[in-house]
Structures are given as structure tokens and as C-alpha cells.
Amino acid sequence: MVETPATPAELSRRLVAWALDEGFDRAGVVRLEPSRQIDAFERWLERGDHAGMEWIARRTELRRDPRGLWPGLRSALCVALQYHPLVGEDEPAADDALWSRVARYARGRDYHEVMTKRLRRLEQRIVAAFPGAAARWYVDTGPILEREMAARAGLGVQAKNTHLLHRVHGSYFLLGELLLTLDAAPLRADEVEGAADPATDLCGRCTRCLDHCPTDALRAPYRLDANRCISYWTIEHRGDLPEAAREMVGEWVFGCDICQEVCPYNVKVPAADHPELRLPPERRALDLVGLLRLGRDEYVERFRKSPMKRAKLEGLRRNAAVALGHRGDTAAVGALAATLDDASAVVARHAAWALGEVGGAEARSALSARRADPMLEPSLGVEIDRALARIDAANWPAAY
């Protein structure tokens, strides 16, 4: 039905109501304007804090002013979707070596898909109601400084761990934007909820996230160095993990939630039920050794619609090998040893490294047997030699 709202303010109220109708948890509207944080963002790039994520450094002119993304863009409907699971229902056990070491947002269906589906419906509704209006949606994909925009829309404030933080809803939420040619007035999500929050800083003197980050990736409040961040290495980096990164990632398999888990605002977050974001049974049945052994067909089956596909099968198996090495569980030696002649040289090298970490006679024997192969690929030979040297160094006092 074609609509004719009386005022830009009335239009914004209608847009927010429709976003909530489509299943988003919170929504607000901003007028598009040049970014106020672009200089800080460019300094972040200049320092190389974006690590190997070169795509982030592209199209900065659009990040500077998002109105360049499409002719006539004037406003943005900013939306949030909570991904904190229902208490006790979806939480993997703390001793679940795989799923407790996968970032919460990544356990269910790909959030790009979940958010995009809702944004597309919203776009259709808006375009049908306001003929001539154009909309462009983004979910963590476009050249937009979305946290800045979302903060202006009242979805939260920027926190020292670099996430967007809300006084009631914590930081376990996803962001999306629908950029519009409509002349909508600014409308903050917190005003819509009748709880206007003038705070621009919720962290105060707290430094828990900086203190607990195991790799010191939060170099200073509000500054993340991706070169030291577990999320970067386990998700974005392809190929071999450098030695230092293998140490850093610990038992994390995909992403890392530590700097959110320790945040006091995330302790009592109201539950939000989005079944798509729950860990599905076909993946829950998989354990760390199963992930290490995962074949292509099973991967396609189990990880259909999973955001974990971002790391690719090879990356997930590489991460599983490293996690098993850190666990030091001798029960995994057989699986790691069987991976020493894997078709993926990356996975085989990380399995060798992991055997060196687990140590013991069985690991040593498996490494030595594989080393004896005259056709051994040289880089795997180097990795095995290093692993054997570590095992021998660990056994040195016993041997002499």
C-alpha cells in the first residue's frame, strides 16, 4: 500500500516499527553525513592494525561519506539482532573442546544470510510503500563505518573492546543497515524504547577486556591490532599460521569471545530467541578430532549455511590441529598421526606441529616414521624435525 507520512519524524517511526516487525531486536534512523571517525580509521590502517585484511583499506572515500554509495541516499535504517543464546539451552558445555571454542555468533546459521533475508523483506516493504524510493542494504560487507552509524542510531556506544555496547543488551548483537533515499528524520533506538540513554561511554574505568585478552591484541582502549587477534588468525588468515600465531590462538577454533565474555554488561543479557542462530544438531555432533578428519562431502553437508565456511575446510582443519596440540591430549595422537600424510600440506604441517606439542613416545614414533619417507615433502620434513626437537628437548632431563 502506498504511504504518505506527514513528516520525516513520522516516516522514521514507521521505518523502525517495520524493522521490528521483520524480526530485528532494535532499530534506529540516522541522516547520512560524512563520518566523524574516518581519521581514526585511517590511522588504524596506517599502523597496519588491519593485518592481512587488505579489502578493509579499499574504498575509504565511501567510508568517509556513505552518500557516495548510491545517488540520492539521505538516511539509514540501522538494525540490531541479538545472538546471545537462550540461557542454558544452547550453551555448549565448557569442556566441549570444539563448540565452546567457536565464537557465539558463528555457531548457527550465517548471520549475513539471516540479516539479509530480513533486510530484503524490509526493502521490499519500503519500496512498495514509497514508490520511487531506493534502498541499499549492508551487513558487515559494504564500505561503511557501521559501528559509528549504529551508535548515532542509539544502538549502543563504542566500547574499549571495539564492540558496540548497550547498557541492557550488552554486546552480543549483529548490525545491519538499509541506506535509503528517503528524507527520514534521526530517531534513536533507545528513544523508541522509551529509555533514552545519553551516555557516550559505558566503560568508565573498567579495563577487563584489555586485561583478559590473552594476546594483548587490545593495544589500548578502543584500539584492536588484528595482527595479534585470535579472530583474525583463525578466520581470515589463509595457509600456514606463523609460529607466533599458533601460540596465540590457543584452543580457539573459529573466532574468540573472551573480550566480550569478561564484559560486565554481558553477564545478564536478556534472552533473544532467534532459532536460526542456534547451533544445529548436525554440527553439534562434531568434535575436535572429527573436525580434523572432516572430508569434503561431510564438510559440505554439516557446514551448509554456516559462517564458519569463511575459514574454508582447510582452515578449519588447520585450526583443529592447532587446538589439539594446545590441549595436549594423548588420545588425539592417532588422529594427528593419520593426518601427517594428508592431501592438504597445510593440515599435515600443523598436525606435525601439534604432535610436537602433545609429545610422548607415541607422537615421537609417528613423527619419526613419517620422517623416514624418502618422498617426504621438504616443508613437512622441516616441520617434523622441529616437532621432534621439541619432544626431545622436553624429555631431555629424563634421557640424561
- Residue number, 209 or 352, with CB nearest to ligand SF4: 209
Longest dimension (CA), the chain: 88
Q: Which amino acid makes up residue 172?
A: Y
- Residue number, 129 or 258, with CB nearest to ligand SF4: 258
Number of residues that bind ligand SF4 (CB under 6 A): 25
**Alpha carbon distance 117, 106 (integer Å):** 17
C-alpha cell at 312: 574454508
Quick note: the x/- pattern for ligand SF4 over 89-108, rule CB under 6 A, is --------------------
Q: Which stretch binds ligand SF4 (CB under 6 A): 42-50, 263-271, 310-318, 331-339?
A: 263-271
C-alpha cell at 235: 578466520
SS3 123: helix
Please, are residues 38 and 63 in contact by the beta-carbon 8 Å criterion?
A: yes
Candidates 19, 119, 192, 229: give the one binding ligand SF4 (CB under 6 A).
Answer: 229
Examine residue 27 and tell whether it contacts ligand SF4 (CB under 6 A). no
- Residue number, 12 or 234, with CB nearest to ligand SF4: 234
- Taken in order 354, 356, 362, 367, is the CA torsion positive or negative? positive
Candidates 119, 213, 324, 387: give the one binding ligand SF4 (CB under 6 A).
Answer: 213
Examine residue 258 and tell whether it contacts ligand SF4 (CB under 6 A). yes
**Over the range 258-294, which residues count as b (16 or more CB within 10 Å of their CB) and which as e?**
bbbebbebbeebeebebebbbbbeebbebebbebbbb
Candidates 160, 246, 274, 364: give the one binding ligand SF4 (CB under 6 A).
Answer: 160
Lookup result for grid cell 585478552: 213
C-alpha cell at 350: 600443523
Examine residue 217 and tell whether it contacts ligand SF4 (CB under 6 A). yes
Beta-carbon contacts of residue 296 (< 8 Å; ≥ 6 apart): 313
Residues 193-212 that bind ligand SF4 (CB under 6 A): 202-203, 206-209
Lookup result for grid cell 622441529: 386
- Residue number, 79 or 249, with CB nearest to ligand SF4: 249
Minimum Å gap between C-beta 218 and ligand SF4 is 5
| Active centre residues (catalytic) | 140
Minimum Å gap between C-beta 222 and ligand SF4 is 9
Candidates 73, 115, 119, 259: give the one binding ligand SF4 (CB under 6 A).
Answer: 259
Examine residue 53 and tell whether it contacts ligand SF4 (CB under 6 A). no
Please, are residues 170 and 202 in contact by the beta-carbon 8 Å criterion?
A: no
**Residues within the interface to ligand SF4 (CB under 6 A):** 159-161, 165, 202-203, 206-209, 213, 215, 217-218, 224, 229-231, 256, 258-259, 262-265
